[in-house]
Structure 1
């Protein structure tokens, strides 16, 4: 009996390790050094490693110097969902390089999701920053972005957007929002804030409070703090990205682009 249990445990551990490795390979090893925006990002798995899911984040530095931030969440857990995540992440990255507006990215991704098994009901949020103090945001079935200001106040951006991918609901225009240089923009998947024993609003307030309390720290450090706080009672995997727009690029940005990656929180 003990040998059977040991073999079962060994098989489960091996499967969990394979899932973790696949998830790691499909997420960015580093983010591009966009220069005009400080960025930190991270992923944490569910407390049950065999329930790894399809949450992802990405950052695109476009040739026209616009920055595109993406967080997405494939419904479900396991090998199939991780594979779907990899396909959707690649599609969203490519679309973000050629679409002029975030709602165009979401609309084209919706068409992709309707033709790709397992991709329906995926949620995604796309934010574009162009070096001004006005950003554009579009989302499908995704939690809204948090905007934490330097004066300590915060609000949510992008509530009430279109349903999750696969429903073919047109989004006429992106939501536009204003921010100040050095404000913090917080994108996350729902695993960060959804709990059976607590309200969504309470968890969002907790995340906003942590970001506000550590406002002066680096984005990568704030990401670690927020994920460490959430992981103890997490019921789902979670992805988190925090951006601090600077709205200017360092003179040596293009020289550093290939060899100075942005830190990704573990």
Structure 2
């Protein structure tokens, strides 16, 4: 009787480990060093070990010195969603390398999602930085970008962007915004801010203030602090990326290459 009771638990533990291993293979084990920008990213699964989902992050360092940051989320949990996540991550990475603007990449990704089972209703946000004082961001059904300024302000960028993937929405202009050296750019999936009985606005404000409290820490330490704060009562998977532009490109300035650690990848 006791042995019989242990069998389902052992099978569940093996299944959870298989899902974790698949997720490790599909998420980046490291991020490329990028010019002028400190970056760290992390992932935390749902507190239920068998409810691993399809959240992902990625970073592209393009030959033209543009940096492309990507965060996305597939609806649901389980093996199928993790597989769909891998396909969407690969597609978005390729589009981030070839498309001039984030909205262009999203439009192509939307077409891919309509043809790929399980990809519709996924959300994604794409941020492009080119070493100037202007960033461009476009999202599909995704929480906005959070900008924590060195001078003290906390802003959300890109609220109310286009619907989730798979709806065939026409190309729309990216949201352009200005930032300064050492400002913090925070991208995340909705697992960070979605809680029963709490509004997204309140949760985003909490995240913003937490980032502000750790503003002088490394991006890696900020990622750890935010994930640690959110994990205790999380109801979904969380992917998080924090970026800090270190200097702006100038004709007489060689781009610095900085190590960009991945934090808590799985």
Flag whether TM exceeds 0.5 (same fold): yes
Bin for the TM-score computed over the shorter chain:
over 0.9
Quote the offset at 1:160 in angstroms.
1.2
2:220 is the alignment partner of 1:224: no
- Distance in 2, matches of 1:13 and 1:197, equals 32
Matched residue, 1:127: 127
Structure 1 residue runs without a partner (length 5+): none
SS for the counterpart of 1:265 is coil
Q: Where do residues 115-194 of structure 1 align in structure 2 (5 Å cutoff)? A: 115-194=115-194
Quote the offset at 1:35 in angstroms.
2.8
Q: Where do residues 22-101 of structure 1 align in structure 2 (5 Å cutoff)? A: 22-101=22-101
Matched residue, 2:199: 199
TM-score, structure 2 as length reference: 0.95
SS for the counterpart of 2:201 is helix
Quote the offset at 1:251 in angstroms.
5.0
Match of 2:260 among 247, 259, 262: 262
- Distance in 1, matches of 2:79 and 2:172, equals 35
SS for the counterpart of 1:32 is strand
- Distance in 2, matches of 1:2 and 1:105, equals 55
Alpha carbons 2:122, 2:141 under 8 Å: kept? yes
SS for the counterpart of 1:264 is coil
Matched residue, 1:19: 19
- Distance in 2, matches of 1:242 and 1:12, equals 34
Structure 2 residue runs without a partner (length 5+): none
- Distance in 2, matches of 1:40 and 1:175, equals 23
Matched residue, 1:210: 210
- Distance in 1, matches of 2:111 and 2:179, equals 31
- How many equivalent pairs are there? 261
- Distance in 2, matches of 1:82 and 1:221, equals 27
> CA 1:47–1:215 in structure 2 vs 1: closer, same or farther (change >3 Å)?
same
Quote the offset at 1:248 in angstroms.
4.5
